[in-house]
Amino acid sequence: MKNYDLVIVGGGPAGLAAAVSARDNGIESILIIERDKELGGILNQCIHNGFGLHTFKEELTGPEYAARFAAQVYERNIEYKLNTMVMDINDDKVVTAMNREDGMFQIQAKAVILAMGCRERSRGALNIPGYRPAGIYSAGTAQRLVNMEGFMPGKKCVILGSGDIGLIMARRMTLEGAKVEVVAELMPYSGGLKRNIVQCLDDFGIPLKLSHTVIDIEGKERVEAITIAEVGPDRKPIPGTEIRYECDTLLLSCGLLPENELSRSAGVNLSPITSGPVVNDSLETNIDGIFACGNVLHVHDLVDYVSQEATTAGKNAANYIKNGKNAEAKEVKIYPEGGVRYTVPATIRPSEMDDTLTVRFRVADVYKNHAICTYFDNELISKRKRPVMAPGEMEQVILTKAKLAEYPELDRITITLEEA
Amino acid sequence: MMYDVAIIGAGVIGSAIARELSKYDVKCCVIEREEDVCCGTSKANSAIIHAGFDAKPGTLKAKLNVRGNEMMDQLSKDLDIPFKRNGSLVVCTKNQDPAGLEELLEKAKANGVPRCRILDRDELIAMEPNLSDDVVAALHAPTGAIVCPFHMTMAFAENAFENGVEFFLNTNVEKIEKAECGYRIITNKETFETKVVVNAAGVYSDEFNNQVSDRKLQIIARKGEYMLLDKQAGCHVNQTIFQLPSKMGKGVLVSPTVHGNLLVGPTAADIENKEGTDTTQKYLDSLGPLSALSVKNVPLRQVITSFAGLRAHEVDGDFVIGEAEDAPGFFNAAGIESPGLSSAPAIGEYLGDMIAEKLALVKKENFKATRKGILNPEHLTMEERNALIKENPAYGNIICRCEMISEGEILDAIHRPLGARSLDGVKRRTRAGMGRCQAGFCSPRTMEILAREVPMEMNEITKNGGKSTYIVGTNKNI
Amino acid sequence: MEKRDLICIGCPLGCPLTVTIENGEVTEVKGNTCPKGDAYARKEVTNPTRIVTSTVVVEGGVAPMVSCKTAADIPKGKIFDVTDALKDVVAKAPVAIGDVLLADVAGTGVDIVATKNVEAI
């Protein structure tokens, strides 16, 4: 068995930033394990621009953003293995992995950072009725085919789901010569960023139909037609509102799911809301020395936030490797209430936390003129007005160590939405 | 082309018969309209080897089910078929008449099903804690089993192929007519002449029978819709849980699959369209409440796919197996609905014997009775696995991350007898693409491997043959 | 006087902007969080522009395609002229980020540059 201080599972934006941060915090023995043939993860297929405004103060494409982080990894001579699949992680932090050259091998790590990312919800998971022909792709699969391999998956498409990948692919397919008939969204609001609706749909005259879903897929061999219908408040199709589109392709952009099969095998507790690990202020899971960051922890809108989060995870893992864990530290739970669906982290140890801590969350619905309120026990600590909040856009609250120090007896923190 | 026997249909029945006949010195072929074996009813069913208590005593269904079940222990070893005797329960709820269980037990005895007994709630809950609170008793049949229907069909077909049976895929039978030699089979490709025809054409078996026989058959396509759940849900029940039939219908089953998923279904609806394998909102929605009658808290949120299969229901209710009275040399294996998969080995044996007698066939000496399936490295130790990867590095390269399927397994699927030529072909053989992401990640990579190995162009690669291509052109050129 | 509502595409915030136009001149921009929003709004109502991202074929590289973008924004009305011009462009590996793959695309005066490193085989 080989030994490393830190094993990072996944060489996408989260894994790379975590590795750089751990090295900069003094950890020499680091191994990044990446299943694909290059570092950068899904960013390599996100060839559109809009990345890096926070991190690099300029607008980059996905591959450019990935290349900058990869360069930092190369500069630091951080070890990585490509084309390597992690098969198992156990609660002793033994990582079992496999590739063509090394075969199956095991690594004893002192700490592990989970950075496996997420996957897309499939047609099967969406329970869309109809036939099962070729021509039904998750938007990400289509994106890989078009952007990495140069193959067009269809000529005429309907897109279900207005997540960002779906919007981006609507434009991408159009630019490569396909016709996008419509983007249908089950919810009464879009799951993607507003700018993407403008520059990916409006620019090309592609209609967005909110409160609509696919109710039938025709075609036994290849998709021949897709029927969508309006849905009521119960999200059930309303008879009589059907619209049928002749097309050869259905792209699905209906949400992302953190990919936590390995976390589960290690005994990591998962949140039923995020499907990601439940973590404390160090982004550490219930298993000592196993940390998580990026889309495996909770699905982000912006890669810049992934990088920030991963930098924190890398630093905390380094600290754990060097100093161990203070098992005595008092832990305070954060309660998400009143439209706040969850928080990351879920608990805070005031004695251990950094001077400031960003608590990220999503809201359950569209809220206009509401405020994000933070309570320490029953005392209102902060109230920040937000003109509009929507489930598609992540929100945050910043807590300071100084403020928490004023409440040594603190029992619970509540983050909630209130009318402004 | 002249054959002794031409079998129409490469489903589990046609393949089982082919394998049986391949024991003899005989020129035999299988004609299949799809691009692969196991593309019709055999690929979309409950994947159960029934114990045999359900069929009416004295029927072919009863006799062949029980015999088929008996044969599976040996067959699964000989042909390397994933098979598990997990046992089955037919549960009776508090609103049902428990006399129904007694009737089933009587039928079980009459059919010769071993070791069945009726269990009370306490015994049941000890076995299956997730049974519904309304369950009061159940019939327990320990010989009930689960199987991989794809592997079962492919095992028969590959073994038949290796023993000399020819397979004609993508070959659609258009007409069968009587000829001097016996029969002439006209297809979209070759024309076949044969002494004996075996009609194992599933939902189309009535049409072929009716072209040569005046004893008309009528096959109704009975659609069954299913949901398949993630492996996380696979342990929700250990045995196959059936429901005692009631006025409301036969109910649905909840069962683990032999690969560790959970299966819920089937619904039942007679349909006109024999190609109608589409799922419907109405019936998919019904699976939740129906399954809850016998099993509680089925985690339907973990559905990874749903599908529909068509059962070939003959209006008289029993299997129609044997030589048509007015068409000598024309053998039917028609109306093979449930328990068809369970009966398949026995149907092969039964029809094989009949045809051997008819043609006075002689067993050949060099029949190879065993077949090795695609190696599943999951069962290897780390040392064994490393030895394998050293010999063939493709086994170290994971392609399907949900099911952890390596390139080595996919190469085996492509290059073995009757190898895969489509993504579904790879999927049914290896499970690559059958997991929770439903091929989202691995399909482009599997396509690359198919393109390289077959070889074929990317735009020729299909999901399952015909016009089911994935790629319509290259960027800016469509 | 004309008022137009826009969504700023300058960054993921997506600020809702209101632009006031008098006699073809922008007199006021409201709703922006930063100067980018003001600039975007003025341009969007007079001469809208976009960055175009796409891919071109690579020869002799470890990947079959290389991603690329317009080095600066181009007039919105020329988006399809740009993609059409990329149809026959073939890059020779190795390609480095920033390499000009096509100069002065579609008469815009803007170059197409690579956004990914593709090593030669």
B284, B382, B436 member nearest A104 (Cβ): B382
In sequence order, the β-bridge partners of residue A183 are: A159, A208
Question: What is d(CA A102, CA A86) in angstroms, rounded to the nearest whole number?
Answer: 13
Question: What is d(CA A282, CA A272) in angstroms, rounded to the nearest whole number?
Answer: 20
Contacts of A90 (CB under 8 A, 6+ apart): A265, A266, A267
In sequence order, the β-bridge partners of residue A400 are: A356
Contact A131, A27 (CB under 8 A): no
Measured in whole angstroms, the distance separating CA B364 from the mean position of its chain's CA atoms is 28
Contact C56, C89 (CB under 8 A): yes
Phi, psi of B110 (to 5 degrees): -65, -35
Please give the helix or strand (H or E) that residue A70 lies within, else none.
helix A62-75
Question: What is d(CA B23, CA B160) in angstroms, rounded to the nearest whole number?
Answer: 8
Mutate to test the interface with A, among B172, B279, B303, B445 (most CBs of A within 10 A): B279
Contacts of B333 (CB under 8 A, 6+ apart): B13, B14, B17, B198, B199, B200, B205, B319, B320, B321, B347, B351
- The 3-state DSSP class for residue B453 equals helix
Question: What is d(CA A19, CA A210) in angstroms, rounded to the nearest whole number?
Answer: 41
Size of chain C, expressed as the number of residues it contains: 121
Q: Where are the beta strands (DSSP E) in A259-349?
A: 290-292, 332-336, 347-348
For C56, nearest residue in chain A (alpha carbons): A150
Task: Identify all chain C residues contacting A53, using CB atoms and an 8 Å cutoff.
Answer: 11-12
Question: What is d(CA B257, CA B260) in angstroms, rounded to the nearest whole number?
Answer: 5
The one-digit pLDDT tens for each residue of chain B (478 residues) are 899 999 999 999 999 999 999 999 999 999 999 999 999 999 999 999 999 999 999 999 999 999 999 999 999 999 999 999 999 999 999 999 999 999 999 999 999 999 999 999 999 999 999 999 999 999 999 999 999 999 999 999 999 999 999 999 999 999 999 999 999 999 999 999 999 999 999 999 999 999 999 999 999 999 999 999 999 999 999 999 999 987 767 889 999 999 999 999 999 999 999 999 999 999 999 999 999 999 999 999 999 999 999 999 999 999 999 999 999 999 999 999 999 999 999 999 999 999 999 999 999 999 999 999 999 998 899 999 999 999 999 999 999 999 999 999 999 999 999 999 999 999 999 999 999 899 999 999 999 999 999 999 999 999 999 999 999 999 988 8
Question: What is d(CA B88, CA B241) in angstroms, rounded to the nearest whole number?
Answer: 6
Tell me if A131 and B278 make a contact (CB, 8 A cut-off).
Answer: yes
For A147, nearest residue in chain B (alpha carbons): B475
- Residue A375, judged by CB atoms within 10 A of its CB (0-12, 13-18, 19+), counts as middle
Contacts of A46 (CB under 8 A, 6+ apart): A61, A62, A63, A143, A147, A168
The predicted-structure confidence for C70-96, as pLDDT tens digits, reads as follows 999 999 999 999 999 999 999 999 999
Least Cα distance to C78 among A203, A152, B315, B2 occurs for: A203
Tell me if A220 and B277 make a contact (CB, 8 A cut-off).
Answer: yes
What number of helices (H) and strands (E) belong to chain A?
9, 27
Question: What is d(CA A409, CA B212) in angstroms, rounded to the nearest whole number?
Answer: 90
Asked whether the bond before A13 is cis by omega within 30 degrees of 0, the reply is no
Distances B323 to A270, A380, B212, B218, B353 between C-alpha atoms, Å: 60, 86, 12, 17, 12
Question: What is d(CA B355, CA B198) in angstroms, rounded to the nearest whole number?
Answer: 9
Whether ipTM > 0.90 holds is yes
Residue carrying the six token digits 């952007």: A147
Tell me if A152 and B472 make a contact (CB, 8 A cut-off).
Answer: yes
The backbone region for B373, taken as left when phi is positive above 0, alpha when psi lies in -120 to 50, beta otherwise, is beta
Question: What is d(CA B411, CA B449) in angstroms, rounded to the nearest whole number?
Answer: 8
- The 3-state DSSP class for residue A129 equals coil
Distances B65 to A101, B9, B322, B332, C109 between C-alpha atoms, Å: 49, 20, 16, 17, 77
Q: Chain A to chain C, count of Cβ pairs less than 8 Å apart?
A: 79
Distances A325 to A317, A345, A352, A356, B263 between C-alpha atoms, Å: 10, 17, 9, 20, 44
Question: Which A residues in the span 148-167 are in contact with B, Cβ-Cβ below 8 Å?
Answer: 149-155
SS (H, E, C) B170-196: CCCEEEEEECCCCEEEEECCCEEEEEE
Question: What is d(CA A185, CA A189) in angstroms, rounded to the nearest whole number?
Answer: 8
Tell me if B396 and A123 make a contact (CB, 8 A cut-off).
Answer: no
Question: What is d(CA A288, CA A285) in angstroms, rounded to the nearest whole number?
Answer: 7
A155, A215, A264 member nearest B472 (Cβ): A155
Measure in Å the smallest separation between the Cα of A130 and chain B Cα atoms: 4
